[in-house]
């Protein structure tokens, strides 16, 4: 799980599992495995580019699993950017559970509001397109 934690928290690696990721800036690093970041994501037609102020915390559990949790934080050091819509992450996180010597079960979830608006017709079309993609194919694409 430690290798996966490092992979997830390294900005350069985020593009490997999220192609819309553009940039992240660390605003402050706290001593208890907590960091505040400004994350920016590129434009995905028809939506504008998005940015988020994010508080990220991770915890190493006694069973060797790792929990990473994150949510929006309003910090005056995170500037409002032109051409970006500020989104809100209500809650999100990763659970990394060791399985044997060389495997890890990875669980991810997020509840967010992207900010701005997207028409119902375009939203429904996007959901239908995502549902047609096979889950294993999605996982393989993310791991490339």
pLDDT at 64: 93
DSSP 8-state class, residue 78: S
DSSP 8-state class, residue 84: E
pLDDT at 13: 82
Residue 131, SS3 per DSSP: helix
Residue 116 neighbours by CB under 8 Å, 6+ apart: 47, 48, 50, 85
**Consecutive sets of 10 residues in the chain, 144 residues long: mean pLDDT of each?**
86 81 93 94 80 96 95 95 92 94 90 74 58 51 51
Please answer whether residues 115 and 50 qualify as being in contact, where contact means their C-beta atoms are separated by less than 8 angstroms.
yes
Cα–Cα distance, 101 to 126 (Å, whole number): 39
Cα–Cα distance, 52 to 55 (Å, whole number): 10
């Amino acid at each position: 799980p430690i290798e996966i934690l490092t992979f997830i928290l390294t900005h350069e690696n985020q593009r490997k599992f999220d192609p819309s990721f553009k940039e992240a800036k660390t605003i402050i690093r706290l001593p208890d495995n907590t960091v505040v970041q400004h994350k920016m994501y590129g434009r995905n037609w028809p939506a504008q580019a998005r940015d988020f102020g994010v508080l990220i915390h991770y915890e190493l559990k006694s069973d060797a699993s790792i929990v990473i949790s994150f949510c929006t934080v309003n910090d005056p050091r995170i500037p409002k950017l032109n051409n970006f819509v500020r989104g809100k992450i209500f809650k999100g996180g990763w659970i990394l559970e060791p399985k044997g010597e060389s495997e890890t079960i990875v669980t991810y979830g997020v509840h967010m509001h992207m900010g701005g608006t997207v028409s119902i017709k375009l939203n429904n079309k996007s959901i239908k397109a995502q549902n047609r993609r096979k889950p294993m194919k999605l996982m393989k694409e993310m791991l490339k």
